Amino acid sequence: MLNADRTDPALLRELIAAELLAARERTALLTGAVDDAELVAQHSPLMSPLVWDLAHIGNQEELWLLRNVGGRDPMHPEIDPLYDAFEHPRAERPRLPLLPPAEARAYAHEVRGRVLDLLAASPLEGAPLLDAGFAFGMIVQHEQQHDETMLITHQLRSGPAVLDAPPPAATGGPLPAEVLVPAGPFTMGTDTEPWALDNERPAHQVDLPAFWLDTTPVSNGAYRRFVADGGYDDPRWWTPAGWAHRMSAGLEAPLFWQRDGGQWLRRRFGHLEPVPDEEPVLHVSWYEADAYARWAGRRLPTEAEWEKAARHDPASGRSRRFPWGDEAPGPEHANLGQRHLRPAPVGAYPQGESPYGARQLIGDVWEWTSSDFTGYPGFTAWPYKEYSEVFFGPEYKVLRGGSFAVAPVACRGTFRNWDYPVRRQIFSGFRTARDAGPRTEG
């Protein structure tokens, strides 16, 4: 979220309008990069057709802003069931009578025009959905989250590259392998972030023992050593469920990796290229991340450990919005917003470093944690329980920190993501931790 005086309605409207525009420009890029045939095709049973995402974005915007906030009558109530994410699993959506591309674009465009009129007249206060522009912020984040989903679909599609972006800059200089996070309490979650979603709330105290955390995400080069050492063939490193999945799915390396003689290549948005050792490993499941950590004699951090390392400032005792402070992310802090179509090399973004010395906690790759997705003490579902509460339980593992595909508005130190432990198409990586004790070299 951009830095702005959210108590000034005029400045807040300007902020919301800018975020709405940025999200729609990205949606247009992702849906305009392919022809209509590719928009309506399903490129993977794990993902919706791109045209479904486009109309779903418009439908959710109409539902929450025009109907719930503005009190308007439904524009096309007959399409509501088609774009209800709980009504139809992704694998079934290509068989639905979806709006064709031109109609989906027209619908999303008409909704947006009416929303901008509503924004201009809204007091942005006086009701929970309006306070600090929350409903508008929720919809902005929703669109940007679907933009990340559509970027995943672009990675899964076959054929030549249609998206392009410059590579991130490399950052030199050696770093310690791990950083120490001392024992003690910190404030987890938030009561003050105006556009925070329900699962980020409420703020609460968590007291943790000391632990060591990787300074950076695990790199491709480090992960390649796990592969070369037979990590995928040794059940000692895998949980029983992980080993069963590794065997049934035939996992041998991260998704999109393939052998070419003596080297590993990867497919990235239509390009086939050598796996770069210096980048964080990408497209690994929780089971793979957990197995690597065991092989390395370490473990995945808990969600609370991750957040303390990312937010706690030992000098002041307070929790920051981001590792570097409270100001919104800039290009010097983190790899966010699809500026690049790949993670930056490990050790990048020294200006985004946390007070404990950890880097790249925000951006580059979503980081798996060891924690199940549950509500915080005192959790209250709002404004609807289907956003978070229906997913609580041991079936889902928490990811933190965002990826290069995440927009700054949908990424902060309290933001929580979750997915099944088998998922690999997401832009997921990890870093490892260990309990504090005598430090080992190597």
Going by the annotation, the residues of the binding site are 56, 90-93, 142, 146, 419, 423
Annotated binding-site residues for gamma-L-glutamyl-L-cysteine read 90-93, 419, 423
Token representation of residue 215? 């300074």
Helix/strand/coil (H/E/C) assignment for every residue in the chain: CCCCCCCCHHHHHHHHHHHHHHHHHHHHHHHHCCCHHHHHCCCCCCCCCHHHHHHHHHHHHHHHHHHHHCCCCCCCHHHHHHHCCCCCCHHHHHHCCCCCHHHHHHHHHHHHHHHHHHHHHCCCCCCCCCHHHHHHHHHHHHHHHHHHHHHHHHHHCCCCCCCCCCCCCCCCCCCCCEEEECCEEEEECCCCCCCCCHHHCCCEEEEECCEEEECCCCEHHHHHHHHHCCHHHCHHHCCHHHHHHHHHHCCCCCCCEEEECCEEEEEECCEEEECCCCCECCCCCHHHHHHHHHHCCCECCCHHHHHHHHHECCCCCCECCECCECCCCCCCCCCCCCCCCCCCCCCCCHHHCCCCCCCCCCCCCEEEEEEEECCCCCCCCCCCCCCCHHHCEEEEEEEECCCCCCCHHHCCCCCEEEECCCCCCCCEECCCEEECCCCCCC
CA pair distance 107, 84, nearest whole angstrom: 16
Find all residues with CB under 8 Å of 63, minimum gap 6, and list them. 80
If one counts every other C-beta atom within 10 angstroms of the C-beta of residue 100, the result is 13
Annotated binding-site residues for Fe cation read 56, 142, 146
Residues facing 187 on adjacent strands: 205
- Residues 57 and 108 sit within 8 Å (Cβ to Cβ): yes
Report the candidate in 151, 48, 120 with the shortest Cα–Cα distance to residue 91: 48
Q: Give the gyration radius of the chain's Cα atoms.
A: 22
Token representation of residue 205? 């105290």
- Residues 269 and 399 sit within 8 Å (Cβ to Cβ): no
